Chains A and B, each alone.
Chain A
Amino acid sequence: MSVLPGPRREPRGTVRVVDPSPLNWLYITYNTVEEPVRVTRRGKVRPAAMSRYRWRDSTTLEIKVRSDNRFADGTPLTADSVRRAAEEQFRWESPHPPGTHFNIDRRSRVEVVDDRTVRLHLPAVDGLALGKLRATHVMSERFWRDLGFGYARDESGEGHW
């Protein structure tokens, strides 16, 4: 079986949805935004905006960003996009609405090694960091400039990621 993508099937049709879930805000995010990882149909964390990862040591997580990824405005998604997403997140004490348990330590340092490689240097071991990347939304420069996570509305990203 080929692992290469076939020709893109042209999107077609409209579906109308009524979603009473109180997490609808999150589902709108997950349908429109990518993170370094996503969660598969059965619930497993898998690479998304990144193509692969490895723990270089117990506190250094290295991420390889996809080479063929673009934002909807046509600009490329690069290692620097992931760096910006992480560092914007670290500006806030509690950015994620579920709570601080989704925080990656704010003292972490983000190193852009090259256009496709980012290293997250954690101050202490956090084996849950890979899953927490699900909450690290990778956004375009235009987003950070014009909207941000609550920045334009509330001038704060606290509780608004």
Chain B
Amino acid sequence: MIDAPGPWASGAFTLVEGHSRIDTEPVVIDGEDRTWLQTEDRSPTVRLHANRHYWDRRRGPRLAEVEFRNDLDRDRALDMVCDSVGEVDIVTEVPHAQAERVRRSRHARLVTVDAVRALAGVIDRDADGLPLADVRARRALNLAVDRAALVRDAFGGLARPLAGLTPPTLLTVAHRAPGRLRPYQHDPAEAARLWRLTGGSSRPVRLAALEPWAAVATFVAAQWREALGIEVQVSVVPVDRERETRRRLAAKEPREWDVLLLEQGSQSVDVPPLELHRAFVGRSGEFRAGPVDPTFERLFADLVAQTSQLRQVVAANRIDRYVTEQALALFLVAPKVLYAVNRDVDFDPYATSFELADTSVRDGHWSLR
């Protein structure tokens, strides 16, 4: 991260004002494996100017200046991009519940991307009083969820059902083939049968969600109650408790939930298991809640051993298949990422990050008048 402005590098833009950094605190996951808890520290304005030395002329930069406004919260920013011109041009990470509002806007349009992100549940395989160490119970939790209804009701159609942990995008087709994985079917009867075979639960299941996914937790809980006939207690982790929740999970300390819903992304589609499957299941996984799985470790080591991209895809496919068959997470959906964008801005989003090198403004844009 860049602590201060300066002509430090060769990217499409140069940081000329402000900072956007994080304060970090280490958490030991296992042995030498660590992750870092992060607390944001941003100046009210962060300003970038075009780097005229940038080598990739076809890509950009096409904008002279980018101003990040950190003095506005998301709701106020959405008001501005939808209802005015000149204050805000792009709002990222628009909540799905706000999509229709952006669509109806006079000044903004809704831009979406099939992001490489997975909304999934961490399943605590060590949970006392629950059969979650048993693959049949974990499959039951997955079979009880109607993903098509979840996509429709909680995401307004702007998500894709998840099969395994590799988000379905054009470029992950190969990772999910051959014998292409399908999402767990919604099969309440089979879910109930499997749950009964495990002996069932001696207490309620505690389903928690990070705050953005509260409605999803309510949806999933209702389906578990109906399909499995179990009691489900839903809790939402407030923003000011998220860091501690992440710390306890990463440090493998006792948890206040049995299944935790969170979203995790990958910085590329080349090897999704590095940031997704490993995070949920691996020895070094910051989200692993349960014992280390030797089979997974062997499959991951096989992935690391491949330098051929084709062999990496095959190895990643094996990992995804194993994690899915063992139901080592609650696979829900891959939410699309939504942006509200001024109509005079040509912005084409990236699947894994937020980059503006090839963004441009049209002749009618306020900044050119």
Where the two chains meet, the residues of A that have a C-beta atom closer than 8 Å to any C-beta of B are 5-9, 11-34, 39-45, 49, 55, 58, 66, 68-74, 77, 93-94, 97-101, 125-128, 130-131, 134, 137-140, 142-143, 146-147, 149-150, 152-153, 158-161
Whether A18 lies near B77 (C-beta < 8 A) is: yes
A153 to B21, CA, bound (A): 12
Given A39-B350, A98-B35, decide whether A13 and B360 contact each other with a Cβ distance below 8 A: yes
Contact A93–B32 (Cβ < 8 Å): yes
Provide the bound-state CA to CA distance between A93 and B12, in Å.
30
Q: Do B93 and A99 touch across chains, with their CB atoms under 8 A apart?
A: no
Query: Pick the contact of B8 from A12, A33, A99 — CB < 8 Å?
Result: A33
**A41: chain B residues within 8 A (beta carbon):** 348-351
Whether A27 pairs with B355 at a CB distance below 8 angstroms is yes
Contact A24 B20 (CB under 8 A): yes
CB-defined interface of B33-49 with A at 8 Å, one 1/0 digit per residue?
Answer: 11110101010001010
Q: A29 contacts which chain B residues (CB < 8 A)? A: 1-2
Q: Which of A15, A32, A77 has the most CB of B within 10 A?
A: A15
Chain A residues whose C-beta falls within 8 Å of the C-beta of B58 in the assembled complex: 5-6
Tell whether, in the assembled complex, residue B40 and residue A25 are in contact, meaning their CB atoms are under 8 Å apart.
yes
**Complex formed: what's the CA distance from A131 to B316 in Å?**
14
Residue pairs across A and B with CB atoms within 8 Å: the count is 298
B271, A72: Cβ atoms under 8 Å?
A: no
Give the docked Cα–Cα distance between A28 and B6 (Å): 13
Q: Are B350 and A31 in contact (CB under 8 A)?
A: no
User: What B residues does A43 contact at CB under 8 A?
Assistant: 116, 169, 171, 266, 268-270, 350-352
Closest chain A CB from B16 CB (angstroms): 10
B87 within 8 A of A: yes
Q: Are A94 and B36 in contact (CB under 8 A)?
A: yes
Within B276-302, the residues touching A (CB, 8 Å) are 278, 284, 286
Contacts A72-B9, A100-B284 given; does A16 touch B89 at CB 8 Å = yes
With both beta carbons as reference points, the residue of chain A lying nearest to B340 in the complex is identified as A18
**With the chains together, A143 CA to B11 CA distance in Å?**
14
Residue numbers in B under 8 Å from A40 (CB-CB): 350
Expressed in whole angstroms, the Cα–Cα distance for A41 and B171 within the complex equals 11
A158 touching B348, Cβ below 8 Å:
no
In the complex, the answer to whether A33 meets B361 with C-beta atoms within 8 Å is no
4 extra interchain contacts, Cβ-Cβ under 8 A, other than A8-B52, A66-B55?
A12-B62, A99-B35, A101-B275, A125-B304
Whether B170 sits at the interface, judged by CB under 8 Å, is: yes
What separation, in Å, do the CA atoms of A45 and B8 have in the docked complex?
23
**Does B66 lie within 8 Å of A31, measured CB to CB?**
yes
Most B CB within 10 A of own CB, among A7, A20, A158: A20
A30 CA to B9 CA in the complex, in Å?
Answer: 10
B29 to chain A, nearest CB (A): 7
Is B53's CB within 8 Å of the partner chain A?
Answer: yes
Contact B51–A72 (Cβ < 8 Å): yes
Spot the interface stretch: B125-133, B224-232, B305-313, B326-334: B305-313
Question: CA A102 – CA B135 in complex, angstroms?
Answer: 30
State the Cβ distance, A98 to closest chain B Cβ, in Å.
Answer: 7
Least CB distance from B276 to A in Å reads 11
A98: chain B residues within 8 A (beta carbon) = 35-36, 275
Q: Pick the contact of B269: A18, A42, A77, A100 (CB < 8 A).
A: A42
Do the beta carbons of A31 and B48 come within 8 Å of each other?
Answer: yes
